[in-house]
Amino acid sequence: MAEGSGEVVAVPATGAANGLNNGAGGPSAQTNNPLSRKLRKILDTRLDNDKEMLEALKALSTFFVENSLRTRRNLRGDIERRSLAINEEFVSIFKEVKEELESIHEDVQAMNSCCQDMTCRLQAAKEQTQDLIIKTTKLQAESQTLEIRAQVADAFLSKFQLTSDEMSLLRGTREGPITEDFFKALGRVKQIHNDVKVLLRTNQQTAGLEIMEQMALLQETSYERLYRWAQSECRALTQESCDISPVLTQAMEALQDRPVLYKYTLDEFGTARRSTVVRGFIDALTRGGPGGTPRPIEMHSHDPLRYVGDMLAWLHQATASEKEHLEALLKHVTTQGVEENIQEVVGHITEGVCRPLKVRIEQVIVAEPGAVLLYKISNLLKFYHHTISGIVGNSATTLLTTIEEMHLLSKKIFFSSLSLHASKLMDKVELPPPDLGPSSALNQTLMLLREVLASHDSSVVPLDARQADFVQVLSCVLDPLLQMCTVSASNLGTADMATFMVNSLYMMKTTLALFEFTDRRLEMLQFQIEAHLDTLINEQASYVLTRAGVSYIYNTIQQHKPEQGPLANFPNLDSVALKAAMVQFDRYLSAPDNLLMPQLNFLLSATVKQTAPIPALNSAGIAGEVPVVQLAWVATPGGTLETVEGQGSLLCKTRALSSKVETPQQEMLKGTRPAQVTLQDFQALLCAPS
């Protein structure tokens, strides 16, 4: 290990060991030898933790490449020479740096001199321009203030003033078009007019009032121009199917803020569309559709129902179309009463066709095409009145009034026709036919009534109106018919009259049974039929008693009084006459069908024809019980009427006996003939205890 210049030279371990061995030789000598201590210290040093040592060794390794004796001996000198070279190199470099620094120093000195000179000059200039600087500073402050004011002014103008383009849009020429930008500018005017109210609550009231006045004047000018343009557009809507432009819809939305201009524009639209609808209606009547399809309505004037129906159908379609046009025109309008405005304008539009419509329908009605057609036309008018009123409400008073007047006129002439027909029935009353069936006048009237009621059933008139019409029609037709039948049968016999009335009432009932709202009339007819059937049954019973030969006996007994004495003393009430009457009555009971009146065969109703004889024959049988029973008592010596009436259960016994005599109905059910009743049967029955 070498010391001197601060460099450390590594000595091989073998050499160090040899050096130690060449020492004093003993442990104490080795311990006291400085070299040994240094070597031991060096060897004990851990180079891993000494970074400076490691760096020194690395630097030494760069030029100590050969480990030889010569190089080890010259190591110190090499290190010193190398250190000297390095120092010389540093000196050379630092010399250059020194020269550069001196040059820089000179430059800095020059710059310092210039700066001092400039500072002096600036100080002198500052002293000379002090007033100018103050003024400049003041002007800068004022400039900043003006810039702020300019920004405020620009914001104010953009907030409360229109641009030149917007002004030109609003103040355009009279014939100039209206575009979407116009409504944007108009909306901006309205917005400014509303926003300027804020200024009125500040100290800028003068400016606020001026701006408000300016915007109000501009608004009026804009609305006036918009109104003129909308009027012109509405006048151009003369085609049958008009197309409402979106700009016109926006115009109506904007004009709603000016109710007067809004109303005038609607009136202009209604006037234009009114002339269009009238022209279209006349063309539909006389020229037909484009290319002749559909054909002109006047071509069907020979068919009253179709003629009136086509006119009303065209009018209904036109009314619905005009309402759709108005709804498209006012779809953006939000003020109250829009629906009323639509209905009012539609009423004005359709008012023009009322006169030609009324004239033509009046011609059809006054021509009296017949009761059935009149009634169908009346129902048709009622239906379209109800339908059109559902479209336009009650505002289209002229049109609805016209249709209602025509409905009332047709209804009036219809009932006049029915009344005339009824009066003709009474003017020339026909005699009943030989078969006692309904007369030809009755059949014709019922056919007319059937057609009227059938047309009424097929109509679409509201239910309550149909029911009221039914009652009036039935009263107008049935009451004269009943009166005619009564007068016609007044000269007939009781049985013929009852048969004729039953047949006539039956025909009326079968006619009404097919239709609704006739229940009350059907009940009345049924009551009358039953009343006449009762008359017919009584006549049949009298007919049976007369033919059976017990009518005289029955009448005599009914008129007998106690003070007249025994019944056996009356003429034709002796035993021989009574036996003969019993034999004849027994024959009737054996074959009751042979004693039916011929009028029963003329009954039209199969049900009535089958059932009417049964109560008649039963009545005859019950009426015959009393004479037969009384005959038995009269044949008994000393028999009197009091004796007969004194028997407590005489009628019961008679009915018990008559149970042997079955009615024709029972005979038909059982298929047997009535049993023979003898005088001995009556005597045995009457002698039996009660």
d(CA 355, CA 597): 66
The confidence score (pLDDT) of residue 615 equals: 55
Q: What confidence category does residue 689 fall into, taking pLDDT thresholds of 50, 70 and 90?
A: very low
Rg of the chain over Cα atoms, rounded to whole angstroms, equals 69
Q: Dihedral sign, CA of 181, 183, 184, 190? A: positive
The confidence score (pLDDT) of residue 461 equals: 62
Query: What DSSP string describes 53-118?
Result: HHHHHHHHHHH-----HHHHHTHHHHHHHHHHHHHHHHHHHHHHHHHHHHHHHHHHHHHHHHHHHH
- Distances 213 to 4, 190, 588 between C-alpha atoms, Å: 109, 12, 119
DSSP 8-state symbol, 300: G
Is residue 632 scored above 60 in pLDDT? no
d(CA 509, CA 524): 10
Of all residues in the chain, the percent with pLDDT exceeding 90 is: 23
Comparing CA positions, the residue from 585, 552, 591, 579 lying closest to residue 679 is 579
The confidence score (pLDDT) of residue 611 equals: 66
Over the stretch 223-264, which tens digit does the pLDDT of each residue have?
888 999 999 999 888 887 788 889 999 999 999 988 999 999
Over the stretch 315-350, which tens digit does the pLDDT of each residue have?
999 999 999 999 999 998 888 888 888 989 998 999
Pick from 231-245, 507-521, 614-628: least confident: 614-628
Is residue 511 scored above 80 in pLDDT? yes
Pick from 61-75, 149-163, 282-296, 588-602: least confident: 588-602
The confidence score (pLDDT) of residue 618 equals: 53
CB 188 within 8 A of CB 215: no
The confidence score (pLDDT) of residue 326 equals: 92
pLDDT mean over 515-531 = 88
The confidence score (pLDDT) of residue 261 equals: 92
The confidence score (pLDDT) of residue 166 equals: 80
d(CA 310, CA 300): 9
pLDDT mean over 598-604 = 83
Determine how many CB atoms are found less than 10 A away from the CB of residue 72.
17
Over the stretch 537-573, which tens digit does the pLDDT of each residue have?
888 888 877 877 777 777 777 777 777 777 667 777 7
What are the residue ranges spanned by the domains of the chain?
A: 13-73, 167-233, 243-427, 547-690
SS3 (DSSP) at 336: coil
d(CA 459, CA 263): 40
Q: Which two tokens stand for residue 507?
A: 């025909």
Is residue 480 scored above 80 in pLDDT? yes
Comparing CA positions, the residue from 188, 191, 271, 183 lying closest to residue 223 is 183
* 361, burial (CB in 10 Å: exposed 0-12, middle 13-18, buried 19+): buried
Instruction: Choose between 689 and 183: higher pLDDT.
Output: 183
d(CA 318, CA 312): 10
Q: Which amino acid is at 575?
A: S
Comparing CA positions, the residue from 463, 301, 313 lying closest to residue 388 is 313
The 8 Å CB, 24+ separation contacts for 4-11 are 4/76, 4/80, 5/76, 5/79, 5/80, 5/83, 7/56, 7/60, 7/75, 7/76, 7/79, 8/53, 8/56, 8/57, 8/60, 9/60, 9/72, 9/75, 9/76, 9/79, 10/57, 10/60, 11/39, 11/72
CB 343 within 8 A of CB 395: yes
Q: What angle do CA 389, 390, 391 make, to 5 degrees?
A: 90
CB 261 within 8 A of CB 223: yes
d(CA 72, CA 66): 9
pLDDT mean over 202-212 = 78
Determine how many CB atoms are found less than 10 A away from the CB of residue 641.
18
Over the stretch 384-398, which tens digit does the pLDDT of each residue have?
998 888 888 776 678
Is residue 62 scored above 60 in pLDDT? yes
CB 388 within 8 A of CB 396: yes
d(CA 336, CA 324): 19
Q: At what angle do helices 440-457 and 397-427 cross, to 10 degrees?
A: 160
Q: What confidence category does residue 106 fall into, taking pLDDT thresholds of 50, 70 and 90?
A: very high
d(CA 362, CA 365): 5
d(CA 517, CA 446): 17
Is residue 682 scored above 50 in pLDDT? no
pLDDT mean over 658-686 = 37
pLDDT mean over 94-108 = 93
CB 623 within 8 A of CB 554: yes
CB 219 within 8 A of CB 255: no
d(CA 166, CA 381): 56
Is residue 11 scored above 50 in pLDDT? no
Instruction: Choose between 459 and 689: higher pLDDT.
Output: 459
Of all residues in the chain, the percent with pLDDT exceeding 70 is: 80
The confidence score (pLDDT) of residue 17 equals: 42
Q: Dihedral sign, CA of 372, 373, 378, 380? A: positive
Comparing CA positions, the residue from 413, 270, 266, 421 lying closest to residue 330 is 266
The confidence score (pLDDT) of residue 170 equals: 81
pLDDT mean over 472-493 = 87
The confidence score (pLDDT) of residue 668 equals: 32
Is residue 148 scored above 60 in pLDDT? yes
Q: Which amino acid is at 236?
A: A
**Helix, strand, coil tally for the chain in percent (to 5):** 75, 0, 25
The confidence score (pLDDT) of residue 553 equals: 76
Q: What confidence category does residue 29 fall into, taking pLDDT thresholds of 50, 70 and 90?
A: low
Q: At what angle do helices 613-635 and 650-658 cross, to 10 degrees?
A: 120
CB contact burial 299-332 (16+ within 10 A = b; e otherwise): ebbeebbebbbbbbebbeebbebbbebbeebbee
Instruction: Choose between 350 and 676: higher pLDDT.
Output: 350
The confidence score (pLDDT) of residue 679 equals: 40
d(CA 599, CA 269): 77
Peptide bond into 294 cis (omega under 30): yes
Comparing CA positions, the residue from 605, 404, 377, 647 lying closest to residue 507 is 605
Is residue 464 scored above 90 in pLDDT? no
CB 63 within 8 A of CB 75: no
Instruction: Choose between 448 and 175: higher pLDDT.
Output: 448
The confidence score (pLDDT) of residue 22 equals: 45
> What is the rounded average pLDDT for all residues in the chain?
78
d(CA 633, CA 686): 8
pLDDT mean over 19-45 = 65
Is residue 653 scored above 80 in pLDDT? no
SS3 (DSSP) at 196: coil
Q: What confidence category does residue 427 fall into, taking pLDDT thresholds of 50, 70 and 90?
A: confident
